Amino acid sequence: MSRRRSRFLYLLFLLIFLSLFGFYKNIQKRADVCTGSRRATWWVPKKTCQRIKKSIIQTPLEKVNAINLMKNVKSLQRCPWSLNTMMLHEVRSELASCCNATGGLLVTQENTRIGDVITYETQSNRQIKITEQIHQMLPQTSPFPDKPFRRCAVVGNGGVLLNSCCGSEIDQADYVFRLNLPPMNYSYDIGTKTDLVTANPSILHNNYSRLDKKRRPFVEMLKAYKSASLLMPAFSFASNTDVSFKVFYALQDFESEQKVLFFHPTYLKNLALHWKGKGLKVRRLSSGLMIVSIALELCDEVSMYGFWPFPQGATGKPIPHHYYDNKLPKPGFHSMSDEFFFYTKMHSMGVLRLKVGRCF
């Protein structure tokens, strides 16, 4: 019996060692790729760049061809990009007029009083009354400064980030947005810095038992984002409210330095109407488009990483849907490809920079 146990422990130790060794080699390989000599960039001729940008800007959404769009975006990555401050100001003014991220993005004590009634974003027949207890959960004012951040990075979770070596570039941004609590163990590709991260309540349902049982594992997981704020849609669906409040109390109970912020449902309603007016017909905006819209109001320069809705990368090789798994979204809920078209259009106009592929 003792010999069997010794053999079992030996095999277990060997398995753990091989797993750790494999993980280390994978990290080392990724580090070597990202710190090695940089490739020479082959630039597309200026006239070709102008032609591609003009084609993207002038083509209406309903006539977009996915194959041609992929080809054009690949070429655009080899075209010099420069910020068009006039076009950015125009887009920012439109967003500020319709939605006002600076003052209206979040539910705060300043814009919401005790006794006020909030109507849910997606359920006009459902309301919630702001009690003193709820009011105490809200920040006094918006945490975003009146003066825009200089450079912002919006980091999506697309498989296109794998082996991108964009981590260092992302971390140089003054403010970094991330989406839906992604794993942070791909630092060479995604960076380490986070200032704000969205948290979809479905993640809490699926992975943390709605925080009825797995409160400590959830709080421990959040440490990967350091002092970043969590942004949650507590008032989008009535089913989101309870679990969003549980996040607030879990962080409070474990004395976390992180804060929970709640989307204002009116802001999200107005934002959906804004993009509908631009021709985007979708059941619900993705978290990505919501955050990109916010960044355009709050930042002087916006760079996007990890946004790519196609199953093949820019080189034509298959890639996973996310950089950490290949789980596909529910069909018919979002329209990632249509949203991506608007990103390419804004990139072509100089409103934001859409980064696809390697960062060198």
Which residues share a beta bridge with 149?
299
Helix/strand number for the chain, H first, E second: 14, 9
Confidence category of residue 66, pLDDT binned at 50, 70, 90: confident
**SS3 label, residue 53:** helix
pLDDT band at 330 (very low <50, low <70, confident <90, very high): confident
User: Can you give the pLDDT at residue 357?
Assistant: 87
CATH label of the domain that carries residue 296: 3.90.1480.20
Nearest to 159, CA basis, from 30, 313, 287: 313
- The tokens describing 339, both together, are 């949203």
Chain segment 167-202, per-residue pLDDT in tens: 999 999 999 999 999 999 999 999 999 999 999 999
Q: What is the pLDDT of residue 6?
A: 64
Q: What are phi and psi of 155, to 5 degrees?
A: -105, 110
Whether 23 is in a domain gets the answer no
State the DSSP H helix or E strand holding residue 231, giving kind and residue range, or none if neither: strand 229-232
| C-alpha to C-alpha distance for 267 and 250, rounded to whole angstroms | 26
In a domain, 13, yes or no: no
Would you state the pLDDT for residue 328?
A: 81
User: What's the total number of domains in the chain?
Assistant: 1
Q: What is the mean pLDDT of the chain?
A: 90
Answer whether residue 34 is part of any domain: no
Q: Give me the pLDDT at residue 282, please.
A: 85
Mean pLDDT, rounded, for 150-178: 97
Name, of 42-56, 159-173, 325-339, the range with top average pLDDT.
Answer: 159-173
Query: Per the domain annotation, does 202 fall within a domain?
Result: yes
Domain with 209, as residue range(s), is 46-355
Has residue 6 been placed in a domain? no
DSSP three-state, residue 264? coil
Residue 4 belongs to a domain:
no
- Taking the C-alpha atoms of residue 286 and residue 72, their distance in angstroms, rounded to an integer, is 23
* 12 in any annotated domain: no
Q: What is the Cα 70 distance to its own chain's centre?
A: 21
Percentage of the chain exceeding pLDDT 70 = 88
Residue 3 reports pLDDT greater than 80: no
Query: DSSP labels for 182-202?
Result: -----HHHH-S--SEEE--HH
What integer pLDDT is reported at residue 24 of this predicted model? 47
Residues catalogued as catalytic: 334
Q: pLDDT digits over 274-311, tens only?
A: 999 999 988 899 999 999 999 999 999 999 999 999 99
15-64 tens-digit pLDDT = 554 454 454 445 455 555 686 645 556 788 999 999 999 999 999 999 99
pLDDT at 356 over 90: yes
Task: Tell me the HSE value of 258 on the side-chain side, using a 13 A CA sphere.
Answer: 29
Q: Compute and round to an integer the Cα radius of gyration of the chain.
A: 22
Q: Is residue 21 situated within a structural domain?
A: no
Distance linking the first and last C-alpha atoms of the chain: 58
- 248 confidence band (pLDDT: 50, 70, 90): very high
Q: How far apart are CA 231 and CA 302, in angstroms?
A: 19
Closest by alpha carbon to 339, among 154, 209, 118?
154
